[in-house]
Amino acid sequence: MDQAFLGFILPVASIVPVTVFDLKYRIIPDWLTLPLLTAGLAFSCAPQGITPYLALAGVFCGGGTLWAIEWIGRHVTGKEGMGGGDIKYMAALGAFIGPIPALALLFIASITALLFSAGRACRTRQFLGATLPFGPFLCAGLICTLVLMKKGIF
């Protein structure tokens, strides 16, 4: 078995509970995100993991980017744009995959969410004000990013 694959077992195992919780309750609980973040940082110390520097950079690129988007959105619209669970989950994923794949994951998740929202808006004629849980799109982005990493693109 590929030793680097072992580092992706926990993020992949998080896909179902994150998706279910975010779709059903519109929350990604800390009991899912914080242990995952801790495990990602710990795994970076293992020989087959990414370096601790890259893990921390992944945390800040992934979680920091979403935090900045939420902060700007909150100050422009006066409403919460993204939940803290999404930010912490993305930070945790960044700890496992590193900064460049984390940014790719965010791009894939954002494009997927945009396309889904556009399709939903055309179907329901509800263009503004509809909220969307972002966790399932982060999970889809994780799958795509892991495939791209396995192919050697990152």
User: Between these two residues, 130 and 40, which has the higher pLDDT value?
Assistant: 40
Taking only the tens place, the pLDDT of each residue in 129-138 is: 678 899 999 9
Burial group, residue 18, by CB count within 10 angstroms (0-12, 13-18, 19+): buried
The residue among 91, 83, 105 whose CA lies nearest residue 28 is 83
Q: Among 52-66, 93-107, 116-130, where is mean pLDDT lowest?
A: 116-130
pTM: 0.92
| pLDDT confidence tier of residue 122, bands split at 50, 70 and 90 | confident
Residue 154 pLDDT exceeds 90: no
Residue 110 pLDDT exceeds 70: yes
- The mean pLDDT of 119-129, rounded to a whole number, is 76
pLDDT at 128: 66
- For the chain, give the mean pLDDT: 91
